[in-house]
Structure 1
Amino acid sequence: MSDLEKARVSTKELDEENPIVGSISAAPTIANESDVIIVEFEENDPRAPMNFSYSKKWAITIVSVAFTAIISASSSSYSFGYDTMIAELHCTTMEATLGLSLFTLGFAIVPLVSSSFSEEFGRRPVYLVSAACFLLSQVMVALAPNIAVVIVGRFLNGAFGSTGAVLVGGTVADVWEPAQRGLPMSMYSLTALFVTSAGPVVSGWIDANPHMGWRWIAWMNAIFGGAYLLFALVLTKETRATIILAKIARAKRRETGDGRYRARSEVDNVGFWTMVRISCTRPLYLLFTEPVVFVFSLWIGFAWGILYAMIESIGSLFKSVYGFSTGDTGSVFTALCIGSLFGCALNAYQETIYRRKYASRGPEARLYVALGAALLFPAGMYIYAWTAFPHVTWVAPCVGLAVFMCATYVIYQTVFVYLADCYGRWASSALAGQSLFRNIMGTVFPLFTTQMYSNLSYKWANTLFAVIATLMIPIPYVLFFYGSRIRAKSKISQKITADDDVKPSK
């Protein structure tokens, strides 16, 4: 194919003809090798998401993060309705637990398929459809006549909730420059873990109210979901640049009748089903072939499994050991909220270390605080395991829970930023792989938690978790000292490095 001469038309000139058309340059088509006119943003074009006003960026970010908050609360608040649900629907504890596990299963597998929808149709439609379907599935749970409908509704909760929640990282990347993403992403991570912990605090007291019970937990989630949908309709804007440019190109084609006006995404489009295939297979490939992705997924997956085991078991432990009511046991989750706040503060400190050490350590500069979290993780579990006795104040196991959650938050955030640094343009697939593994662990752990505590006792079951966490202490240390060598032996990392080396300097 011959080199083609590039031509540009200024935004000002195009706006005189059509106020929604951006800049244009010529480029080759794939189909017939004839010229096309590529529509692109001009520098400082206010329609480009990166050039949105500061207030507009924050409005978009806050609305996106709010959806994560609603999904996180829904995931954990459900478990505190077991008592009234079992009594009303005449189901077993295992059947009720399936509602918790299938939520995380939907959260694990559906994004592999649904993430491609935002590439094809844009972020805003996916947010709105996800929020509407999430609302309907919450109503389905609230009105369920039997446990089977509850279980199906909970799976749909997770499926539709995940579709919107996983877009938050992409939305942040759409509107914020790399150097500005630290605070929005910290807000996202804090919301995900803090609200997961806070959900049972509220739902415990709802279930304890004899006039409310488990259905009102679902109704509260539906109310917040409906309120979010209304706010999203008004405040959510399309932030994916390729979708905006494709819309501009279509408008220009309609106005001029000239079919050569194209967005680059229309020229280079690989096809929707090809994107679906890649989004389903590449995360699995990286998960099982890349040692860095696998060991970090194993680490955060185990922590996530324990977190959902906690959601399942804290209520029964504090009821049996300390005689707490349902409302009181929900309040125990405040300890996890406090732990997530401490974890957020440690991550803020990690960012200052990263800026100082990146030049000498590279991506491994992300791991300094994670080295400490590797020690805090089992320490929190040991405290929780060996202080939950009637003759020891209830504050002691709460301290263990806070220490555990602090470590989990640090691990969670470290996995995201470290994999993003290591895998560059393949980062989304690497993160999708760990998200799949992490949420599958959240699915599996609650299914054996009750039997495990019944057979081993709370002390020895939690001690077993602590011992496994102890065996995982070397993970960040090995990557801190040998991460660059491990990546040097990876074909994927070699390819990313080679691609970076051949990029022309600007």
Structure 2
Amino acid sequence: MADSALGSSYSFDSKKPSESVQCTTVQSIPDNVFKELEAFGLEVSEEGEVAWNERSNSHPKEWSHCKKVWNTAIVVFLEFFATLVSNAGTSAAAHAYINLGVSKTLAIFAFTSVYLLGQALGGIVLPPLTEAFGRKSTFIVSTIVYAVCCVIVAASGSLAGIVAGRFIAGAVSAVPSVVAIGSIEDMWHARHRIWVVQAWVGFSIVGLALAPVMAATLSTSNTGWPWVFYFAAIVMGGTSILCLTMSESRPSLILQRRLDLVMKSTGYRKLTYNNPDRPSSMREFATVSLTRPVRMFCTEPIVCMVSIMSASVFATIYLLTETLTVVYGDFGLSSQQSACIFIALGLGLIFVIPTRLCDQYIAGKRQRNGEVLQPEDKLFGFYVAAPTYAIALWWFAWTIPPKSSAVPWPVSVVPLLLIGFATNEFDNTLSGYLTDAYTSFAASANAPLAFLRAMLSAVYPLFATQLYRGLGNNLATSLLAIIATLYCVAPFVLWKYGKKIRERSSFAEKSDSRA
């Protein structure tokens, strides 16, 4: 049964919790209240605060496996499809700019950059909203709005309509792109998150890889580029119906709803619970919760470093969306054949299986030894991916025309497999690292990463063609390789000093202990 039936939605109090409800002690609580709390899977600490009972199956982490898999499957599909539609914008723009009577660069800006700018804004605003008000309603509303915006883009026929539709669609796409990681943390323990986060990130990479193929196929058909977005509207509209079957996964919200029912049924109003991210007023929400992602980026070295690295690596895929057709056009391939090269990025995911198995082995070893699984224990994939990414870019840079025109084109496809693997590992392990390090604030910790990723992904396609024409394919890719080489220092920093940095964080200290 959906958790929305448990009580009313979240509402602000005019006073802080400590002022609106008088604190009490365990000894003063009537016996019937204890029975009601136990029935709802709750207990009272010695300080008189209500918390989850360890035996409770109401906490999202203790849900049945089927329930968690169903909720997670919807979240993962949303991320896959939203990413697919996001990256399809560049290919659609290549067919639409003539009909719109604008330059190709302006069309790319309208279809792709505007979408990602909207996603950047949504990535800052939406995570704190879901942490305060819950996840389920956000997923439902966002999918409906997304579907409507896709219809607007397809049917408007004007640049203004396309810009408006893509911007709003991009804003609500931040739900699967940013909020989803918080939902995953809500439901899964640290060891299980190894594979769940891999599925979430992996399907995102597959979406990026398939987007040019999908867009090229639909855009060149008799119906033309609008059907890229009509198709997106149909699929997202159907997904909004599936979201109705989801359960609310924000533990603090579920606890509050159950506590409200207990106080209503018993008439005992002196129960409180500790919720550090609960705003007591709209003003506090605006000044504290909405600014939390910015404060975490500016004050948390891990959030800052991880956001910059992961965002730039992910955004490179958007740059390649624009440039691979140029590179492989020099090999003599058509635009549709060049679009199929993107599949190599998705096939690179097969290399993540050994790294996930290694993560699983480390987690199992920690558990057998009775040790706590540390966030740094799941960074093995990143330790491998950083040098792999640099090597792959150098390899690709000097096996493509014009400097290496004699090299057969399949040779340059091999490093694209490695780039797909490395992009997945950067996104997976680093997003997972922020999630494990900041648990309750996982969505806010990932918000700066998502913001930068969206901003860079919006900008990269705009100068990609000019960069490659100005410097040449080889030197332009070498510039990316130089940046990737600098990132090879980061694995050592996180391995050596990651735990010490986390221990100084006030946000990590306040995170939910039920990891």
Global fold match (TM > 0.5): yes
Matching residue of 1:313? 323
Task: Pick which of 287-296 and 122-131 moved more.
Answer: 287-296
**In the alignment, structure 1 residue 88 sits paired with structure 2 residue 99:** yes
Do 1:309 and 1:446's aligned partners in 2 also have CA atoms closer than 8 Å? yes
**In the alignment, structure 1 residue 193 sits paired with structure 2 residue 208:** no
Matching residue of 1:435? 450
Matching residue of 1:126? 138
Match of 1:146 among 151, 158, 165: 158
* Paired residue type of 1:213: G
Do 1:200 and 1:333's aligned partners in 2 also have CA atoms closer than 8 Å? yes
Match of 2:64 among 50, 53, 59: 53
Listed as ranges, the matches of 1:235-384 within 5 Å are 235-251=245-261, 269-318=279-328, 320-353=329-362, 356=365, 363-384=375-396
**Which stretches in structure 1 are left out of the alignment for 5+ residues?**
29-36
Secondary structure of residue in 1 paired with 2:327: helix
> Of the two structures, which has the highest relative contact order with CA contacts closer than 8 Å and spacing of 6 or more?
2
Q: CA RMSD in A?
A: 3.5
Secondary structure of residue in 2 paired with 1:178: coil
Identity %: 24
Matching residue of 1:229? 240
Match of 2:472 among 446, 449, 457: 457
Q: Deviations over 1:239-277 (max 9, x none)?
A: 223333433444456656665577765996533442343
Distance in structure 1 (CA, Å) of the matches to 2:205 and 2:126: 23
Matching residue of 2:85? 74
Instruction: Return closer, same or farther for 1:369/1:354 CA change in 2, 3 Å cut-off.
Output: farther
Distance in structure 2 (CA, Å) of the matches to 1:173 and 1:10: 34
* Paired residue type of 1:480: W
Instruction: Return closer, same or farther for 1:393/1:432 CA change in 2, 3 Å cut-off.
Output: same
* Paired residue type of 1:335: A
Distance in structure 2 (CA, Å) of the matches to 1:171 and 1:369: 23
Distance in structure 1 (CA, Å) of the matches to 2:45 and 2:380: 48
| CA displacement at 1:378 relative to structure 2 | 1.9
Distance in structure 2 (CA, Å) of the matches to 1:481 and 1:174: 28
**In the alignment, structure 1 residue 174 sits paired with structure 2 residue 186:** yes
Match of 1:467 among 475, 478, 482: 482
Distance in structure 1 (CA, Å) of the matches to 2:158 and 2:123: 28
Do 1:201 and 1:332's aligned partners in 2 also have CA atoms closer than 8 Å? no
Do 2:185 and 2:439's aligned partners in 1 also have CA atoms closer than 8 Å? no
* Paired residue type of 2:102: C
| CA displacement at 1:304 relative to structure 2 | 2.0
| CA displacement at 1:338 relative to structure 2 | 0.8
Do 1:205 and 1:326's aligned partners in 2 also have CA atoms closer than 8 Å? no
Secondary structure of residue in 1 paired with 2:495: helix
Distance in structure 2 (CA, Å) of the matches to 1:216 and 1:140: 12
Matching residue of 2:115? 103
Distance in structure 1 (CA, Å) of the matches to 2:339 and 2:172: 26
**Which stretches in structure 2 are left out of the alignment for 5+ residues?**
1-21
Q: Deviations over 1:214-234 (max 9, x none)?
A: 11111111121012112222x
Matching residue of 2:427? 412
| CA displacement at 1:68 relative to structure 2 | 0.9
| CA displacement at 1:207 relative to structure 2 | 1.9
| CA displacement at 1:424 relative to structure 2 | 5.8
Task: Pick which of 37-46 and 334-343 moved more.
Answer: 37-46
Instruction: Return closer, same or farther for 1:326/1:279 CA change in 2, 3 Å cut-off.
Output: farther
Distance in structure 2 (CA, Å) of the matches to 1:345 and 1:147: 46
Instruction: Return closer, same or farther for 1:244/1:203 CA change in 2, 3 Å cut-off.
Output: same
Do 1:115 and 1:279's aligned partners in 2 also have CA atoms closer than 8 Å? no
Distance in structure 2 (CA, Å) of the matches to 1:290 and 1:122: 25
Distance in structure 2 (CA, Å) of the matches to 1:250 and 1:422: 31
Match of 1:400 among 415, 434, 438: 415
Match of 1:159 among 168, 171, 174: 171
| CA displacement at 1:101 relative to structure 2 | 1.6
Instruction: Return closer, same or farther for 1:345/1:249 CA change in 2, 3 Å cut-off.
Output: same
Distance in structure 2 (CA, Å) of the matches to 1:240 and 1:412: 23
Do 1:246 and 1:266's aligned partners in 2 also have CA atoms closer than 8 Å? no
Task: Pick which of 171-180 and 424-433 moved more.
Answer: 424-433
* Paired residue type of 1:338: L
| CA displacement at 1:345 relative to structure 2 | 4.2
Distance in structure 2 (CA, Å) of the matches to 1:424 and 1:110: 21
Distance in structure 2 (CA, Å) of the matches to 1:497 and 1:217: 42
Distance in structure 2 (CA, Å) of the matches to 1:10 and 1:40: 17
Secondary structure of residue in 2 paired with 1:384: helix
TM-score of the aligned structures, taking structure 2 as reference length? 0.82
Secondary structure of residue in 1 paired with 2:504: helix
Distance in structure 2 (CA, Å) of the matches to 1:267 and 1:305: 31
Distance in structure 2 (CA, Å) of the matches to 1:160 and 1:267: 22
Q: Deviations over 1:418-469 (max 9, x none)?
A: 3344456555443322332232222221221121112122222112111222
Q: Deviations over 1:463-484 (max 9, x none)?
A: 2111222232222123333445
Distance in structure 2 (CA, Å) of the matches to 1:14 and 1:293: 41
**In the alignment, structure 1 residue 213 sits paired with structure 2 residue 224:** yes
TM-score of the aligned structures, taking structure 1 as reference length? 0.84
Q: Deviations over 1:327-379 (max 9, x none)?
A: 32221111010113323543333443465589699554434342332221122
Distance in structure 2 (CA, Å) of the matches to 1:138 and 1:128: 16
Distance in structure 1 (CA, Å) of the matches to 2:155 and 2:353: 38
* Paired residue type of 2:355: L
